[in-house]
Structure 1
């Protein structure tokens, strides 16, 4: 009986290992890993700094959930923390999902903390294998605030893998998938449209992100500047 139990446990561990290999992560897979980012405007002035740290990895059947802590610091005083939030990512089978709540303006949401907020999302999807020319599914998030007093929506559309190329930042040189996407946001009668170019790499995530306005003018650039493992 003991031998049978040991074999069953071993098979379960092997199944878990195979699953983990099937799902390609675009975040760090190791607890404790820290990613340090810097955001600059079109003139190269630093406007923001933040870190992302992997907190936990939990498996439940075919699904694995990853919890990550994001810490936003004052660029003029990096030791001063402005805000911290946790975000969840998941692998289900061999597909990697990014929770669209990650794209909410957390400071803006503070203004609605005493109001009823209904959120519906369609998470961003990354298949196990990317290739140049591949079109990716859209993502979206919708908020109904105060029983319909205010509605907010963000849609990430026209996602496409444009290239597989090297990107160099202060953190090093990485072979990345370059993904283009359009971000369309609406709050009340206000509409904002951006075009993003994002470079991502397996087991880390975003290496560089360039954001352009609807006229094609560069607005900001975010880069990975340090990795602590």
Structure 2
């Protein structure tokens, strides 16, 4: 169960940091036809799944991204789409578009009330910069019983610049970090480290528990324009 939650969180946070727009393209691709792949691993380096992304449409300041999730054996689990918007000198991602697709599939016939604060990523990142917090609240009506889920992204900041190598290549990155709290019956806290590269997006993502131990990580394994 814990492993599945880590994968869900990895997909969730990688999805939100994957794109930008012509006016907001410093750190992410916003070109129709761009395809990239993120592979998820557990703490021992065992492959747990793959997420394939494609920029299927760019319309003004809004891009549509197709997401296909596969399990460790390459079996397709589900497909979904979400949108990313460019607002001034930042990218803004609607939380409603970034709910884990497995969850949407599971609760598709139920009423869902979703509120939250969009994730913002400035175009002019600098070492030492603090970024705005973000959150999502979701209430699912399950036949008279309401299940609540909340995700908070806190203490977001830009830590440093460094070079990162993955199967997709070597990239000069900004290293970001933030705290994540997930509440769904019980509360779970994680620390996230993430590396993003100009014109590429997320190169690597690591999740740590409250004791600072690695729980799992994700890497960019393919990138094609």
TM-score (normalised: structure 1): 0.83
Shift of 1:183: 0.8
CA deviation profile, 1:63-107 (whole Å, cap 9, x unmatched):
x0011111111321x2x3211111111101222112223552322
CA deviation profile, 1:149-208 (whole Å, cap 9, x unmatched):
1211101110000001111111111111100011111113x1111110010123221100
- 1:25–1:96 CA contact under 8 A, matched in 2: no
> How much is the aligned-residue C-alpha RMSD, in angstroms?
1.7
List runs of 5+ in structure 2 lacking aligned partners. Answer: 1-20
Q: Whole-Å Cα distance in 2 between the matches of residues 81 and 204 of structure 1?
A: 25
Q: 1:68 to 1:103 in 2, by over 3 A?
A: closer
1:122 aligns with 2:117: yes
CA deviation profile, 1:47-72 (whole Å, cap 9, x unmatched):
1112111111111xxxx001111111
* Length, aligned pairs only: 203
Q: Whole-Å Cα distance in 1 between the matches of residues 26 and 117 of structure 2?
A: 19
Q: Whole-Å Cα distance in 2 between the matches of residues 37 and 92 of structure 1?
A: 26
| Runs of 4+ deviating beyond 3 Å | 24-27
Question: 1:72 matched to which residue of 2?
Answer: 69
Residue correspondence of structure 1 range 123-202 to structure 2 within 5 A: 123-146=118-141, 149-188=146-185, 190-202=186-198
List runs of 5+ in structure 1 lacking aligned partners. Answer: 1-19
Q: 1:169 to 1:211 in 2, by over 3 A?
A: same
2:216 counterpart (192, 212, 220): 220
Larger radius of gyration: 1
